[in-house]
Structure 1
Amino acid sequence: MRLQGGKNGIRGKQIALFFAKPCCGEVFLLESEVVMVSDSCKKRFGKIMLEQMELLEQVEIAPNIFSMLLKGQMVSQMQAGQFLHIRVPDDSKLLRRPISIAEIDRDNLTCRIIYRIEGGGTAIFSQLPLGSFLDVMGPQGNGFDLSPVRAGDHALIIGGGIGVPPLLEVAKELHAKGAQVTAVLGFADKAAVILESEMKKYADVIVTTDNGSYGRKGYVSAVVDEMTQDYAAVYSCGAPAMLQYVDRKFQDHPHAYLSMESRMACGMGACYACVVHVAGQDESVNKRVCEDGPVFETGTIIV
């Protein structure tokens, strides 16, 4: 990508802007304003915006796992299962960090994201003071399709570890539709359990831990294999082994979905750093997690 530069006067100040020029149109980031890509880019990428989002709250909810509440106009466009691409406020960190959206409050224009410290960039996020502004690109990716579920239907959520957060908004919206939601959530141990109480507001929750220190001992697969209920839809996000199980078990289900986790670079589908192979095709046929996903139907990709 070629770097572009520019200046804009905001409230009497001159702000120097340096940003990547995407494959089409240009993106300008203005302080406290939302700026969208050009119309041609919107047709390809959807309503991806750049915005300075305000950090209202940050809490460590488990060892090295943080919940962050952000406020901004782009919340009005967010859908369950999408993610944000956030710039680290450190010039030595060139790549944005993709973080899934855990909760959406369109009335108050706030969203909640939950992330785990994986390196220097996310460690910087964890130290930001309240009132900070984060350079956010989003909402990105294709979210979960909730339309197959109607009032009175049963829906199943399967989540593991740091893959649980994007499923919270799914449970909330399905509950609001009048669906009966069951959530099976797996974690390594008791200390790693997150969002159980929040999920219980919207679903019947079963928690498993690998070592049996909390909930049922074992993996989510053992619980799901015992279930006899027919579900209108299945929604999942977690580690590759868990998603492989979900993909096998529900590959013929008409409405079963996987949310993939992947390292990303551009986050807009241009660099092909986050590809997955398409099921039934040779390895030259790929889909991009950032643009075609992160949500895919079961049986359509190689997990």
Structure 2
Amino acid sequence: MLQLATAIKKSEIADTIFELVLKTELHKYTLRPGQFVHIRVSKSTEHVLRRPISISNIDAEKSEITITFRAEGPGTKKLAEINTGAAVDVLMPLGNGYDINTAEAGDHVLIIGGGIGVPPLYELAKQLNERGVKTTHVLGFNSKKDVFYEENFNIFGETHVATADGTYGVHGFVTDVIQNIGTDFDKFYACGPKVMLKVLDNTMAMDGFISLEERMGCGFGVCYACVCETRTGEQLKICTDGPVFEKGAIVL
């Protein structure tokens, strides 16, 4: 689980959004879309806590994974400074990802991403399409400068983009797009800010799955820094029981 990966490629794909390709020993693991890695961003005690970053792409043949993150705090800004060829201290794979077996060949599903919740949905869309599942995508961002992965998702199916300030795509939120395109889908899969997930959880009539974004301490269930509550009052840990949950399972 703990290993040194090698940074193969780094690029800034939108405003403060970075894509980092890591070469690692993937043959040791079975990875699922929606799982994450826990990265030590520097050797300094200032950044002693690791940062949880979703896996946006898995290339088993090359033994590479891609992580996509926003450089907004001191830790992720430090991660954005990593140079090609550098060794990266990684805990992986962590978390309970999306189960692609919940959709069958011939199904048509809706994939909904908000902001930095978009990256893990790319690998999900890729794997679902490989199973013969049709995917339609709705991506939400604050502004045009924040938009990324639209072309990536277009490869797999119809893709809609909304921006809160109206500078690109539909003026509004993912819910405005969904209102326009309708809800004639077999299932939905979503990842993004909690306020977005809460609306989807409460309004989408179909079965679905949501993935939470959360700050974490250890990443494997020891520190209890990422506890959430189920509808029945049970306490679950997002890092191990999630970050993916069925619609309606937890209190948002």
1:100 to 47, 54, 62: 54
C-alpha distance in 2 between matches for 1:186 and 1:128? 28
Matching residue of 1:12:
none
C-alpha distance in 1 between matches for 2:131 and 2:178? 23
Displacement of 1:127: 1.2
Displacement of 1:179: 1.6
Matching residue of 2:249:
300
C-alpha distance in 2 between matches for 1:56 and 1:136? 14
Alignment pair present for 1:248 and 2:197: no
Cα pair 1:184 1:207 within 8 Å, conserved: yes
1:232 to 166, 179, 186: 186
C-alpha distance in 2 between matches for 1:253 and 1:200? 24
Displacement of 1:233: 2.1
Displacement of 1:229: 4.7
Matching residue of 2:70:
116
C-alpha distance in 1 between matches for 2:59 and 2:209? 23
Matching residue of 2:239:
290
Using structure 1 for the length normalisation, give the TM-score: 0.80
Q: Aligned ranges for residues 1-303 of structure 1 at < 5 Å?
A: 49-74=1-26, 76-92=29-45, 93-250=47-204, 253-254=206-207, 256-281=208-233, 285-303=234-252
C-alpha distance in 2 between matches for 1:125 and 1:273? 22
C-alpha distance in 1 between matches for 2:148 and 2:41? 24
C-alpha distance in 2 between matches for 1:175 and 1:243? 23
Percent identity reads: 42
- SS class of match (1:166): helix
C-alpha distance in 1 between matches for 2:142 and 2:182? 26
Cα pair 1:74 1:138 within 8 Å, conserved: no
C-alpha distance in 1 between matches for 2:183 and 2:203? 14
CA RMSD in angstroms, aligned pairs only: 1.3
C-alpha distance in 1 between matches for 2:43 and 2:248? 40
Cα pair 2:7 2:21 within 8 Å, conserved: yes
Which protein has greater RCO, CA pairs closer than 8 Å, 6+ apart?
Answer: 2
Displacement of 1:68: 0.3
Using structure 2 for the length normalisation, give the TM-score: 0.95
C-alpha distance in 1 between matches for 2:62 and 2:21? 11
C-alpha distance in 1 between matches for 2:108 and 2:183? 8
Query: Which amino acid counterpart does residue 219 of structure 1 have in structure 2?
Result: F
Matching residue of 1:18:
none
Cα pair 1:148 1:232 within 8 Å, conserved: no
C-alpha distance in 1 between matches for 2:250 and 2:65? 29
Displacement of 1:118: 2.3
Cα pair 2:56 2:123 within 8 Å, conserved: yes
C-alpha distance in 2 between matches for 1:181 and 1:175? 7
Cα pair 2:185 2:206 within 8 Å, conserved: no
- SS class of match (2:112): strand
Unaligned runs of 5+ in 2: none
C-alpha distance in 1 between matches for 2:177 and 2:230? 29
Cα pair 2:26 2:60 within 8 Å, conserved: no
Cα pair 1:236 1:257 within 8 Å, conserved: yes
Which is higher, the Rg of structure 1 or of structure 2? 1
Displacement of 1:185: 0.5
Displacement of 1:60: 0.5
How many residues are paired up?
Answer: 250
- SS class of match (1:241): helix
